[in-house]
Amino acid sequence: MGFKYLRMSTTEATAVYYELVIIAASPTTEIWLGDEDGHFVQKEIGELRTGLLEGHYTVEFGLGSAPYPIHLTKATRYTQVELASGPICSRPIPKLTLE
């Protein structure tokens, strides 16, 4: 019995990252970005610029403040005022495994 190798095309193996820009109302405000599992993945002050895969994220302006949902499907720019005028959400509680 031999092994069968599957060849992936270049388009199947290439991940697509979308630019996300978030501007806080104050240049001293902490911006916390969380993933769909509840883990904080990035923190910036005043302005967050990053590239992310399509998906669901949360953003908080100050640790422990109200989280706002973001569903990223394309390059997007938000301000704190825009996000604060929309709905809030609950940030998922991260599940940690003991090893």
Tens-digit pLDDT profile for residues 55-70:
999 999 999 899 999 9
Class of domain 16-84: mainly beta
Tell me what pLDDT residue 3 has. Answer: 47
Return the higher-pLDDT residue of 8 and 27. 27
Tokens of 70: 């973001």
Q: How much is the pTM?
A: 0.81
Question: What is the H or E stretch that residue 12 is in?
Answer: helix 10-13
pLDDT reading at 36 higher than 60: yes
Please report which residue ranges of 1-99 form alpha helices under DSSP H.
Answer: 10-13, 80-84
- The full set of domain ranges for the chain reads 16-84
Tell me what pLDDT residue 1 has. Answer: 46
